[in-house]
Amino acid sequence: MTRQVVVTRPEREAPKWVAALSSHGWKPVALPLIAFGPPTRVDVLHAARADMPTFDAVMFVSAQAVQAFVADNFEEKVHPALFDIHQSAIKIELAGSPRFWAPGPGTAQVLSQAGVRPERIDQPAPDATQFDSEALWAQVKHQVRPGFRLLIVRGEVDGVSPAPSDGQGSGREWLADRCREAGAFVQMCAAYRRQWPVWTSAMQQAAHQAAVSGAVWLFSSSEGLGNLARLLPGQVWSGALALTTHGRIAQAAARLGFGEVKVCRPAVSDVLQTLNSWLAEADGHAAAVWQPPKMGGSS
């Protein structure tokens, strides 16, 4: 097992991961598998921003959803009594503003950085085995009642709808169904569009090399795995390792043919711990298999 790690997160998120991995002795290379662009219906996004005070809760499916919802090239201020778009920040002003739901600590952190008060953010318990919609539901289900209004801010694919294969995608639909069953009204809003990543020839070459050299690929999206299969058609993945952040993503990696697949929580600390454990296992196996050469001598 090499110490090379392929970071497949979007371009905006990748530098944080590259820096963290480098500081712990790993050799990361950034190969984003998803890019982002504006949503097809910008008017719907405008309307959702203006209507946000009318909702009891707003769920952001990812950190990208928060960033896209509060920061773009719009010049006007939407409902300034509630929030002010300034330097990509959302400033919550009203005591009766919605609660903000986050499926994991990364999304919650971006909400906090955007100006949402911590006491208004709901997220999975710190010791949750997974950071996803199911873990979030355990924390927020007591809020939902008949007439409850929920806005889910998400992305779209190619101007259509979120891909059902995405690890968070099926989770958000599951949570929406639970809310509807409890009598809630659920509205979806696309704040961005997930797009095909553009790789340079150098990135293509790096990807081919990492596929056969025993590198670890970090995956946080089943959709990204699908893009990888299209970017490198016919590639054999049995010589590569996959570290995923959800069981559904792990299943997609196994279907693609990765030689070994593991699952861990998406926090940087958890990823580093799993990588170090994986390396120790590989080194231990190599030591057990290797036999020192016999010294020559007369019989």
CATH architecture of 4-34+198-289: 3-Layer(aba) Sandwich (3.40)
pLDDT value of position 153: 95
Residue 40 CA to residue 177 CA, distance in Å, equals 25
Which candidate, 168, 191, 179, places its Cα nearest to that of 70? 191
Place of tokens 């006491």: 119
Residue 234 CA to residue 227 CA, distance in Å, equals 13
Q: Which residue ranges make up each domain of the chain?
A: 4-34+198-289, 36-195
Cβ contacts of 288-293, under 8 Å, gap ≥ 24? none
pLDDT value of position 84: 38
b/e string for 54-74 if b means 16 or more Cβ within 10 A?
A: ebbbbbbbbbbbbbbbbbeee
Q: Do domains 4-34+198-289 and 36-195 have the same CATH topology?
A: yes
pLDDT value of position 286: 44
Which residues of 52-116 form beta strands (DSSP E)?
57-60, 99-101
pLDDT value of position 208: 95
Residue 148 and residue 184 in contact, taking contact as beta carbons nearer than 8 Å: yes
HEC letters along 13-50: CHHHHHHHHHHCCCEEEECCCCEEECCCCHHHHHHHHH
Q: Given the DSSP bridges, would you call strands 4-7 and 57-60 parallel, antiparallel or unpaired?
A: unpaired
pLDDT value of position 20: 94
Name the DSSP letter for residue 264: -
Classify residue 214 as left (phi > 0), alpha (psi -120 to 50) or beta.
left
Residue 36 CA to residue 193 CA, distance in Å, equals 6
Ranges of residues in the chain with a pLDDT under 50 are 73-95, 159-169, 286-292, 297-299
CATH architecture of 36-195: 3-Layer(aba) Sandwich (3.40)
| Chain segment 10-42, per-residue pLDDT in tens | 888 899 999 999 999 999 999 999 988 888 888
pLDDT value of position 170: 58
